[in-house]
Chains A and B, each alone.
Chain A
Amino acid sequence: MNFDFSDDQKQLRDQARKFLAEKCPPKAVRVVLDGKTPYDKELWKGLAEMGFLGVAIPEEFGGAGAGHLELCVIAEEMGRANAPVPFSSTVYLAAEALLIAGSDAQKKKWLPAIASGEAIGTLALFEGKGNPSPKNVKLTAANGVLNGVKKPVADGAIADFAVVAARTGSSGRDSDISLFLVELRAGGVEVKSLTNLDPTRGQAEIAFKDCKAEPLGAAGEGWSILTQVLDRAAVLCAFEQVGGADRALEMGRDYALDRIAFGRPIGSFQAVKHMLADMYVSATLARSNSYYGAWALSTNAAELPEAAAAARISATQAFQHCAKNNIQVHGGMGFTWEFDCHIYYRRANAMALGLGSLSYWEDQLIDRMRKKNAA
């Protein structure tokens, strides 16, 4: 059994960590946090030059043609650095949707642009409250034009194109939903930035008014494509969450070693030690579930839906748990804007909602386990 990343993949992870430590220190994250720029353009360019944006994109479409395992190790580092760039929207959602359902022309147009850092993409799925569900898609598509409003759309204000879920039928079945590809700089699109929990990753409202759109994938196949995209993104996001959880745990551990109270490091008190031990436990469970997700993703295994849901649940819980208790270990200092704890707390809680909330994925896991048990 070799249930681990290869030496080459680990080397890639080290390379990504080194790169991000240099190009994406907390100081750089704070430029975006403080609203001085919507994302770190220099970093985005650097990620493209390193080949990280196109790591899982085939060579014929301008990528490195490596694979999803390579993307997983980079995702972990993006999470660890809390990178303020539209990586997840562009790479996990838009690029994966194109890879699954794009026509040759669409792939040729957009995938090289993603890999080179020229195009930012996103997925426009949600319409206000609620979780991923065909019945929550109200935006309509008819005669090649879209009408409706999507929000929140991650990185919507800086995206060049979006994959949009639209209603093309009213039978009450999944086949009522189709996907479209929209250039957001064209007419019929109105974009508004929204304030959100995690200012290092923007959210927007996008209104489509008689907006021209080209189909992505076959008509009526939208929901089935989306389900696959969300499963893939769940695994990739889980690695970001694992990276963030590990970093939050490390920050807490380092502070507990450094901070003296009652004449000794606070990390010598069992109340603090045990809190950190529990953080380690959840981060470890999340990592192991994510590895299983990575295996299923990279081999396109039949187990992917179940593995993705377990990884998503475990990683969401771990990141929230570690980010929350990192503040607790830091005490009052952890509640200042100056300390970085809140950056991870914000990211952890925003990421917990991005692909559907925890309860949505819990529901999915049970459905998928039942399906497997019945089979």
Chain B
Amino acid sequence: MNFDDTPQEAAFRETARRWIEANAPRELHAELSKSSLGRIRLANHDIVDVGKAWQKKKFEGNWACLHWPREYGGRGATPIEKVIWQQEEGVYGKLTQPFQIGEGMCGPTVMAFGSEEAKRRYLPKLASGEEIWCQLFSEPSAGSDVAGLRTRAEKKGDNWVVNGQKIWTSGAHYSDYGLLIARTDPNVPKHKGLTMFFLDMKSPGVEVRPIKQANGMQEFNEVYFTDVVIPDSQRLGAVGDGWNVSLTTLMNERMSIGARLATGVPEMFELCSNLMLEDGPAIDDPAVRSKLASWAAKSSGLKYTSYRTISALSKGERPGPENSIGKLVSGMMLQDIATYAMDLQGAAGVLTGNDEETAQGQFQQMLLSSPSMRIAGGTDEILRNIIAERVLGLPGDIRVDKDVPYNKIPTKGR
């Protein structure tokens, strides 16, 4: 048992470290190092611009989309090398945010189902950051039950004509291409009538509208499709096989384990150390210590769970659905910590300004943003289902709509 790299891993780490030292945008280091829960904002730069510059540099140095094959813009690296790269990239990894959906989900789907021509045309530009991709799966009536989606694609000659609406699309407003799942046959059960496409986000009839979220910010979009034409050559997989194709996309989402999720524990530890209660610093209060210690133990449990996963990767094993615990634990923890931090702040906790007595309002922001952590990328409930069914082997839910033609499923407002 040890935390050491193998000689090959150490050599790879050294090469990566040297390249990063020579090429990373150091002027942004301090700003990127500040803890940020949620989207990154830079004072004097647009994250997409500086992100594109960093991505391009990485691509030129052969450090972009590491685990992709070389002919499509990657490095042909192993999963453990990708983890090592992420560790070394550190805070600069935050600059890759606009490209994560492309690299982690859209790219692998194109790679698995696209024509050779499409792969050579689109993947290198995705890897270099020149073109950004988004993912168009969720709909207002199809969240956890994404196979219940309504957006229609109808065949007209060599083209498909798309009408409908997607929601919760990160980055749609700056994306060049989108991965779209749509219903091509409403007369068969819901999972069987879906087909996957990709499309140019600048196509006529595509309209992107930002969503104002419960926390007051605008980070996601709604995307409307009105008679949008997609050539059949941009279909991924067979007609009616969209559900299987989407499983590839989602499986790749769960592979992104190197990224550490925020838990709020370091921020809370700092708050408790500095906050004076009536009898002294909060951290001397037994009730505070008890909660803080439980959260710290959970947080270290997550850290060492990810180390165990990295060790499995290092041996060439593939991580499984047990990785679902990271987001499940940290999402709830963030929300609980935020609530308790404000409890400690007492009356002033209600204020959301940039005040010293409320630690610059960071927990108030955390409180308002944390509900999304428990929903986006699989709700807490879906993650528990995944653990129960795929790790513990419990039976799947009884699905009353499974064998019913989609257009016969009773639903509100259709």
Contacts from A to B (Cβ < 8 Å): 1-6, 69, 249, 253, 256-257, 264-265, 267-268, 270, 272-274, 276-278, 280-281, 284-286, 288-289, 291-292, 294-295, 298, 309-310, 313-314, 317, 359, 361-363, 365-366, 369-370, 373
Closest to A363 in B: B289
Q: A4-B1, A256-B394, A281-B329 are in contact. Are A288 and B307 (CB under 8 A)?
A: yes
Contact among B292, B311, B392, B393 for A2, CB-based, below 8 A: B311
Which of the segments B30-38, B39-47, B298-306 contacts the partner chain? B298-306
Pair B381/A285 contact, Cβ less than 8 Å:
no
Pair A2/B273 contact, Cβ less than 8 Å:
no
For the complex, what is the distance from the CA of A5 to the CA of B2, rounded to whole Å? 9
Pair B286/A363 contact, Cβ less than 8 Å:
yes
- Tell me if B296 is interfacial: C-beta within 8 Å of chain A: yes
Determine how close the nearest CB of chain B comes to the CB of A273; give it in whole angstroms. Answer: 4
Pair B301/A289 contact, Cβ less than 8 Å:
yes
- Tell me if B308 is interfacial: C-beta within 8 Å of chain A: yes
Contact among B4, B297, B314 for A289, CB-based, below 8 A: B297
Closest to B293 in A: A362
Pair B392/A365 contact, Cβ less than 8 Å:
no
- Tell me if B354 is interfacial: C-beta within 8 Å of chain A: no
Closest to A295 in B: B1
Chain B residues with CB under 8 Å of A292's CB are: 300, 304, 307
Chain A residues with CB under 8 Å of B304's CB are: 3, 288-289, 291-292
Which of the segments B95-103, B131-139, B212-220, B395-403 contacts the partner chain? B395-403
Pair A3/B398 contact, Cβ less than 8 Å:
no
Q: A2-B2, A313-B297, A365-B297 are in contact. Are A281 and B387 (CB under 8 A)?
A: yes
- Tell me if B328 is interfacial: C-beta within 8 Å of chain A: yes
Q: Which B1-18 residues have C-beta < 8 A from chain A?
A: 1-5, 9
New A-B pairs, 10, CB < 8 Å, besides A280-B325, A292-B307: A1-B4, A2-B2, A3-B3, A270-B381, A273-B385, A284-B301, A294-B1, A314-B300, A362-B289, A363-B286
Interface residue tally for chain B (C-beta within 8 Å): 50
Chain B residues with CB under 8 Å of A298's CB are: 1
Pair B311/A274 contact, Cβ less than 8 Å:
no
**5 closest Cβ pairs, A-B complex:** A285-B301, A362-B293, A273-B388, A288-B304, A277-B384
Pair A280/B392 contact, Cβ less than 8 Å:
yes
Chain A residues with CB under 8 Å of B301's CB are: 284-286, 288-289, 310, 314
Task: Tell me whether chain A's interface is mostly helix, strand or loop, or mixed.
Answer: helix
Q: A3-B1, A69-B1, A286-B301 are in contact. Are A273 and B311 (CB under 8 A)?
A: no
Contact among A267, A285, A313 for B395, CB-based, below 8 A: A267
Pair B329/A276 contact, Cβ less than 8 Å:
no
Q: List 14 A-B contacts (CB under 8 A).
A: A1-B311, A4-B312, A265-B394, A270-B384, A273-B388, A277-B383, A288-B301, A289-B300, A292-B307, A310-B300, A314-B300, A362-B289, A362-B293, A363-B289
Contact among B305, B310, B325, B388 for A274, CB-based, below 8 A: B388
- Tell me if B267 is interfacial: C-beta within 8 Å of chain A: no
Q: A1-B311, A362-B290, A366-B292 are in contact. Are A310 and B297 (CB under 8 A)?
A: yes
Determine how close the nearest CB of chain A comes to the CB of B314; give it in whole angstroms. Answer: 6
Q: Which B282-341 residues have C-beta < 8 A from chain A?
A: 283, 286, 289-290, 292-294, 296-298, 300-305, 307-308, 310-312, 314-315, 322, 325, 328-329
Determine how close the nearest CB of chain B comes to the CB of A319; give it in whole angstroms. Answer: 14
